Amino acid sequence: MQDKPFKIFSGTKSRYFAEKVCNSLGCPLGNMIIEHFADGEFSVSYEESIRGRQVFLIQSTFPNSDNLMELLLMIDAAKRASAKSIIAVIPYFGWARQDRKDKPRVSIGAKLIADMLGTAGINRLITMDLHADQIQGFFNVPVDHLYASGVFVDYMKTFNQDNLVIATPDVGGTKRASAYAKFLGCPMVICYKIRKKANVISDMQIIGDVEGMDVLLIDDIVDTAGTMTKAAELMIQNGAKSVRAIASHAVMSDPASDRVDTSALTEIIFTDSIPYTKSCSKVKVLSVADMFANAILRVCNNESISSLYVV
């Protein structure tokens, strides 16, 4: 890899993903040490020269906040080590659900994280399936926004297309579900939900007809799985033959796995943007590492990335 103009490094919790990307690219993962101290602090040091190189730093910012802090220190260390450019590769961009003020006196977390990454010194961001597309506008550097649709659509071809209906578990995902429905030529239904507070649903209703249909629920993030499992139950109650779900990011906070396991869902399909370490027979994980590897090559070669988009 010494003749290559770029290097790839990874934070602690995204190493599994970085290794897949490097295998796809046929290059070694860069040598970096993250040293932890007794008081919870940690430091980052690159154990090889990155002077004048394009540096790709792979780290999703899922809970806990140490993952974000690791990434910020990696960026700062790369800047001080005279890297030519620093590209943050964040398969899952955390805090994305805090993209606006939905009530008085709250923070806009997604904008704050964007400012922190920019101040630390990134020159570009590569991410996937942001909770809201407008988050790209929070950054003052180029953002390559990838979509997991290329991986999901290939898997969808194994479904019964003649009897398929696309569904969104909430109104906010209508645009995403509509794109899939148009691409596949399928009808679409919407779940309308009312929340008492975060992660607590008080009421849900279906807009559309699912009787006798195989339903595919589409979302970007599954956290506690309350919305997804309640939507699946509602679909079955309204006459659906089966219910599957796809979601880009498996946050899957407890008791999500138990809820999915005992739910009406036949299966739920995620990407590996976040490591899924729990046990659930209904969960299937598809890798997007090859897609990210392709995007990295295209960035290095100044080639178009839009051709990677399917939906």
The string of DSSP letters for 130-167 reads -SSGGGGGG-SS-EEEE-THHHHHHHHTTS-GGGEEEE
Quick one: tokens of 103?
């009530």
> Annotated catalytic residue: which of 7, 193, 197, 282?
193
DSSP at 307: G
Query: Distances in Å between the alpha carbon of 154 and those of 166, 268, 311?
Result: 16, 15, 12
Q: CB-based burial of residue 235 (10 Å sphere; 0-12 exposed, 13-18 middle, 19+ buried)?
A: buried
Q: Where do we find the tokens 């540096």?
A: 55
26: region left, alpha or beta (phi > 0 left; psi from -120 to 50 alpha): left
193 catalytic per annotation? yes
CA angle 97/100/103 to nearest 5° reads: 105
CA angle 112/116/118 to nearest 5° reads: 115
Q: CB-based burial of residue 264 (10 Å sphere; 0-12 exposed, 13-18 middle, 19+ buried)?
A: middle
Q: Which residues are catalytic?
A: 193
